[in-house]
Amino acid sequence: MTLEAILAAFHLLAILTFVVFLSSQAALCRIEWLNAAVVERLARLDVIYGVAGAVMIGSGLARLMWGVKGASWYLSQPLFHIKITLVLAMVVLSFVPSAAFRRWRQNLRSTGALPPAAEVARVRRLVMIQSHVLPVVAVIAVFWARGW
């Protein structure tokens, strides 16, 4: 049971870290607040967000493989498949903002220019989609944990 508790705690810690840094990206990625310091911060936040996402997925896989319920239980649950599909969709969506934040920082450092408003709006939209999908994943997890 100690391993189960450690895996669950590690997974929860990664989820909470993921939420904090996704929320930070959502808050900062707006044209009216964008300046050189924010561009640098977005790039740094994105690295932590990516690491938290990787740890979240890794700890989830660890729970699947080494948790008390076992892989067969998880893989037989329809809500598990919906949850994983939504998480993978978030991963795919995150590639565009991550690349944009790195590109913005590189461009800022080389030319001093901030990104165009239309690009910031497009990237913000993708960050906000992720921010709205995440609570759906949480609701699915709650229903799943209660036997749906």
- Rounded to whole angstroms, how far apart are CA atoms 30 and 121? 7
pLDDT of residue 70: 85
- Is the pLDDT assigned to residue 148 strictly greater than 80? no
Give the tens place of pLDDT for each residue, 57-90: 999 999 999 988 889 988 999 999 999 999 999 9
Kindly state the tokens that stand for 99.
């690349």
pLDDT of residue 1: 75
For the chain, percent of residues with pLDDT exceeding 70: 100
- Collect all residues with Cβ–Cβ distance below 8 Å to 70 and sequence separation of at least 6: none
- Is the pLDDT assigned to residue 145 strictly greater than 90? no
pLDDT of residue 53: 95
Give the tens place of pLDDT for each residue, 123-142: 999 999 999 999 999 999 88
Give the tens place of pLDDT for each residue, 99-110: 999 999 999 999
- What's the number of domains the chain is made of? 1
Task: Give the domain extent around 56.
Answer: 1-147
Alpha-helix runs per DSSP H in 2-77: 2-28, 36-66, 71-75
